Structures are given as C-alpha cells and as structure tokens.
Amino acid sequence: MKSTELRKYTLDELKRKLHDFKQDLFTLRFQAVVGQLTNTAKIRQVRRDIAKLNTVITEKERGINAEL
C-alpha cells in the first residue's frame, strides 16, 4: 500500500486500517511459530504497512500536509 493512497483516507479510517493490520501481523506471527506460514515476506510487508499508516496518522494529527 502506498502512502499517497493512505493520505486519501480520513483519520478514523486510517486507525481502523491500522487495527486490521495489527491483527494480521499477530495472525502471521502465530502462523510462523506454529509452522503454517508459507510466505515469510508477508510479515515484513505488513510491518512496513503499519509504519506507513503510523506516519500518515501522525501527519494528519499534527496537520502536516505531506503531499509529494
């Protein structure tokens, strides 16, 4: 997911997406421990998406317009 796509959402929608991604990360980590995870790169991608979401949420809360 690209940051430019994320900036189109409202703050509430971003927080909802963040919650969903954190649940996904928990599930992926659990699958990795149990041995059911086939695509280990997915964990890294979800972690990066969470970081992007946190960045965009902080920008919106502080009123920073970071359109590139």
pLDDT per residue as tens digits for the range 14-37:
999 999 999 999 999 999 999 999
Confidence of residue 64 (pLDDT cuts 50, 70, 90): confident
Q: Which residue has the tokens 């996904």?
A: 24
Torsion angle in degrees (nearest 10) through CA of 57, 24, 51, 5: -60
> Whole-prediction pTM value?
0.88
**Structural domains of the chain in order of their starting residue, each with its CATH number:** 3-62 (1.10.287.310)
- Are residues 7 and 56 in contact, defined by beta-carbon separation less than 8 angstroms? yes
Alpha helices in the chain (DSSP H): 3-6, 11-34, 41-62
